[in-house]
Amino acid sequence: MGGGSPALDQFHYRWYDDDNTDVDATTGLAAEDNTYEVPAADLGTSHHLRIKLGNSGAKVANAARTLQYNVDGAGWNTVTTTSSNVRMIAGQPTDADATAELLGTSARTFTAGEYDDADGSTTHNIQPGEDTEDVWSIEFRSADLSGGESIDFRVLYEGATTIMTYTVTPNATIATLPSPISGTTPLVFSNPGTLLGLGQLAGLVEI
């Protein structure tokens, strides 16, 4: 085997809608290399994160590449089917389907990437002088996120950052979630059209 090692650059990304038909769905949720704000109504649904990687090294990259997330700078965690905050979710089309080139190009040659909605890992070969685009189907967890969070993403090679360069860092923010109504006492009407607040109710009902 030849010497040297792969050298992967994470250099483009884009958020796409899962349109239930195609891994190369072109409904972008934000411009290329731009943050996507996740609406409260879209928590728990499938989103496609497409990341472009280029190999400028001297050796094929043929080991597992895994996706990680970092909420508000608190530390990196691997995205799995059971992870908190962000996790893999079954989407469309089929796990391990090949991807086409949708993001900005480089002087390298494109090779088809891989779609993952199962284990947060892709393994296809990226030869020296090649780019690829991998797509992860993920959900943002309403049970774990309270609104206002900023979430970064990165790809690891063989579980490490050793050969990785991060020209861009994919990011999503969680929209402010609706605040629950405070208090447990129901509001009542003393007369039609008149709404009493909790203070006014003190002398009328037990609170």
Say if residue 183's pLDDT is above 70. Answer: no
Helices (H) and strands (E) in the chain, counts: 1, 14
Say if residue 204's pLDDT is above 50. Answer: no
Q: How confident is the model at residue 182 (pLDDT cuts 50, 70, 90)?
A: low
Nearest-angstrom CA–CA distance, 160 and 133: 19
Nearest-angstrom CA–CA distance, 92 and 75: 29
At residue 65, the pLDDT reads 96
Q: What is the CATH architecture assignment of 8-176? A: Sandwich (2.60)
Among 195, 179, 186, which residue's Cα sits nearest to residue 40?
179
Say if residue 132's pLDDT is above 80. Answer: yes
Which residue type does 70 have? N
* Interval 132-149 mean pLDDT: 96
At residue 206, the pLDDT reads 43
Say if residue 22's pLDDT is above 70. Answer: no
Is there a contact between 108 and 161 (Cβ–Cβ < 8 Å)? Answer: no
User: What is the domain partition of the chain in residue ranges?
Assistant: 8-176, 183-207
